[in-house]
Structure 1
């Protein structure tokens, strides 16, 4: 769906170690910039394919991280237009692979975030329409219901890895910085976001 929060995690960790200890350094001053540049040895950008932070880091127990294990469970209705069909909530899951990739096209994200394929852009810009995040299971079932049962499909889109299942990510989380509310430039497919990332926009 969007580049992982680890992109920011690693870049910020490198920059954070270079924060000046001297309180006389002012933001954006030549001395502060030189101090920062002199301390950065490597910048690592890790871009992961279409994985949400809730999926990859959902089971991380680090204090302050907003995720399903700390703030959840997060739940979605099976059908956003017929709530009587019930809901499914996030839980830990041991994945070997997710065979039915959650929709990350622009229209798919629209229904996942706003519950409609065509949200009103003006209302979004004015703050009158905010994402409910209630359409993930609905969209997963719409796309793949002929391929798998609804329980398996909902698990694929709602559940997350535990700390033990992703040990490398767990080490990064525990030893560097993780961001809440890390967003892609385009709520949609891979290539526009890769272009934005590599161009620094």
Structure 2
């Protein structure tokens, strides 16, 4: 896997969500420093301890795990059962541990009562309530550094943040919205309907024009001054990559800026973009105005490094079995297919929505997505050739034009 070279002047930030974004300055934007492009790679929800906690073995400065961390089997009576200690034997997790708003509250507080301090003592109890012993194994294990060799190399070569918090103690989509908009519009759960009808929130792209936890976590962010969704937020992995970053940097927090309670969280991305590009507009929300910013990590050097790796280790195989292509789509997979349907206008077809929810399997969903993306790009190129659109316009397709079965499409359509 290739990583940025000094000449590209790239700042990349990777977190435990699943989305790829690209934003580059143009037009009248004025840049503050060497960074001209910000690439955000957002992956699926995982806690910091689960993915990067054991990196402390390689760098003691990282606030990670030691193996002394544990959860009781019964959070209301810790002496009633055995202690379950945090290990380094994480493997591919299927099915997913609980990560709804209610489930994360139970993990953090040990019950549905969120009035007390976040003791982070309910992970085992909550996991057993939905998946028994196997689920306990999943949530009380993190990856040994060699099991996530790409992350291991990035942490060693660039910067890791050990106090980056999810914006909402909940599932994927609300947290992704904070990445773009500094708000989820009040949403605390995924909403497939809004995925294709649109979330009505203003994003950082309007200014630059030119899911949560699941696994054991030892630290909670307990400031409630601007938290729209409650006082319990768990930390997630964040790695920052650039030849302008010193090797082996560990970021613990924003050090009291812009407010004494500010923390790094997903809203830190639009807040930092605003600073890096000297955007004159106001902050998107009170949240990104409060969030810590990380532009300082690329402002310590006068010249980019020349020793950055150009290749990363080959990823270690984590899944020990082959994927079940005939399995029904998970809720997350359904959302991805529904988003693909938006590209072609197919989301307007109730028959397709019913098929995605009830009958489509993984193989069919993969085939449909490939076809949707291909046909969307083909339509865009065709519109451009005919002079109907330029490079900054998005073609809006209608289902009447995209549900036709052609010879070329038959192998791709479910």
Q: Which of the two has greater strand per residue?
A: 2
Q: Residue deviations 1:154-196, cap 9 Å, x none?
A: 2200111111110111111111111122101101111110111
Q: 1:116 aligns with which of 96, 111, 122?
A: 111
Q: Which residue of 2 aligns with 1:167?
A: 149
Q: Residue deviations 1:21-60, cap 9 Å, x none?
A: xxxxxxxxxxxx8441xx1143221212011110111221
Q: Is 1:46 paired with 2:38? A: no
In structure 2, the CA distance between the partners of 1:114 and 1:94, relative to structure 1 (3 Å rule), is closer
Contact 2:97 2:135 in 1 (8 A): no
Q: Which residue of 1 aligns with 2:6?
A: none
Shift, 1:81, TM fit: 2.1
Q: Following the alignment from structure 1 to structure 2, what is the Cα–Cα distance between the partners of residues 35 and 141?
A: 50
Matched residues, number:
155
In structure 2, the CA distance between the partners of 1:42 and 1:62, relative to structure 1 (3 Å rule), is farther
Q: Following the alignment from structure 1 to structure 2, what is the Cα–Cα distance between the partners of residues 107 and 81?
A: 17
Q: Residue deviations 1:124-148, cap 9 Å, x none?
A: xxxxx32100000100001113xxx
Contact 1:91 1:160 in 2 (8 A): yes
Contact 1:68 1:91 in 2 (8 A): no
Q: Which residue of 1 aligns with 2:124?
A: 137
Moved segments of 4+, more than 6 Å: none
Q: Following the alignment from structure 2 to structure 1, what is the Cα–Cα distance between the partners of residues 50 and 15?
A: 16
Q: Which residue of 2 aligns with 1:98?
A: 93
Q: Following the alignment from structure 1 to structure 2, what is the Cα–Cα distance between the partners of residues 112 and 74?
A: 15
Q: Following the alignment from structure 1 to structure 2, what is the Cα–Cα distance between the partners of residues 68 and 77?
A: 17
Q: 2:14 aligns with which of 6, 26, 37?
A: 6
Q: Which residue of 2 aligns with 1:85?
A: 81
Q: Structure 1 length as normaliser, TM-score?
A: 0.70
Greater Rg by CA: 2
Q: Following the alignment from structure 2 to structure 1, what is the Cα–Cα distance between the partners of residues 154 and 42?
A: 14
Partner-residue secondary structure (3-state), 2:71:
strand
With 131-140 and 76-85 compared, the bigger mean Cα shift is at: 76-85
Q: Which of the two has greater helix per residue?
A: 1
Contact 1:73 1:91 in 2 (8 A): no
The unaligned stretches of length 5 or more in structure 1 are: 9-32, 121-128
Q: Is 1:68 paired with 2:68? A: no
Q: Following the alignment from structure 1 to structure 2, what is the Cα–Cα distance between the partners of residues 34 and 45?
A: 18
The unaligned stretches of length 5 or more in structure 2 are: 1-12, 17-29, 182-269, 271-287, 289-414
Partner-residue secondary structure (3-state), 2:142:
coil
